[in-house]
Amino acid sequence: MNKLSSFIKSSRFAEVSILLGFPMIGLFFASQSASQLVSLPVILFAAAIFSLFTAIYAFNGLAGIEDDFHNSRLSDLKGKRTSFIVTLVVSLSISLVLFFLIKPALSLFSLVSFTLWCIYSFPKKGFKYRPVLGTLIHFAGQIIHFMMGCAVLRPLDAESWAASVYFALLFSAGHINHELIDHDADEKAGIRTGAVCFGVGTWEKVSFFLFSLAAFYIAALAFAKPGLLAICLPFACAGTVHIVFKICTLKKPSGQSKFLKERSFYRIVYFVAGILFILVKFGMFNLIIQ
């Protein structure tokens, strides 16, 4: 039981599951009917992307063992080096095999994604330790993840690339909020994130700007491509709600508690937006409200 517990903690399944939302939204975006979502490629993709993210988090945990000593939020991950290594090797191997079975190109995408996150997490030298560069990794990585989901069911096109930018902006803004959450622990560990380098006040404004930019971008995309209006609208509304929330809490004292509450709030808001997006995508929303 202790070994199983160590494996679960080192895999960080809760955080992996949250990340699954973005590539799965890409999958829904590309689908033409609900029946496509119960096909073998989709089932294999769900398992493959879960395994890939598990491997990424395992490498992140392995690379940050010394730094996480200062972070009480990650205290359960201390002393799990062997578990991290086993999780990394097994999960990455499974993901590469499954992606290859779906489309060989997806294996290449997954290797690019894994490499990017290794560059981010690499001990002491990774982009995690550099202001702004870590956020750029999150932006590029999320475009790749969204496009991987799209590629399962249809060829990549201009619309899928345009939609991926929105989710990349959203993910990057969330990463900045994550840096704000871990500001004190990162400062003690000597990790020069944007929050540490530029200060909490400045980085909180950057977070506000990126979340706002994401909301304006998805609204503009909807009007530029009327065919996407019904799909984009739930996320535009979620962005508006989040912006109002940030305005109302902007003058509250900054600290980990504040940023954790915001994270909980926007996770719920964008989760609801995702559900509405799926309902609208497959024409089920009208059936529910009638």
Could you report the per-residue pLDDT of 73-120, keeping only the tens digit for each?
445 555 567 778 888 899 999 999 999 999 999 999 999 999 999 999
* Residue 152 pLDDT class (50, 70, 90 cuts): very high
Range 219-225 average pLDDT = 88
SS3 for 290? coil
pLDDT digits (tens, 9 = 90+) for 238-271: 999 999 999 998 888 888 999 999 999 999 999 9
**Distance of alpha carbon 226 from alpha carbon 229, whole angstroms:** 5
Average pLDDT, the chain: 85
Buried b (16+ CB within 10 A) or exposed e, 150-183: bbbbeeeeebbeebbbbbbbbbbbbbbbbbbbbb
Q: What CA dihedral angle connects 195, 193, 108 and 162, to 10 degrees?
A: 30
284 DSSP assignment: -
Q: Which amino acid is at 191?
A: I
First to last CA, the chain: 49
* Length of the chain (residues): 290
Nearest to 148 by CA among 108, 178, 204, 181: 108
Q: Are 23 and 145 in contact (CB under 8 A)?
A: yes
Looking at per-residue confidence, does 57 or 283 come out higher? Answer: 57
* Residue 12 pLDDT class (50, 70, 90 cuts): low
Beta-carbon contacts of 96 under 8 Å, excluding residues fewer than 6 positions away, are: 107, 110, 111
The model's pTM is 0.85
Is the Cα torsion angle 183, 189, 191, 196 positive or negative in sign? positive
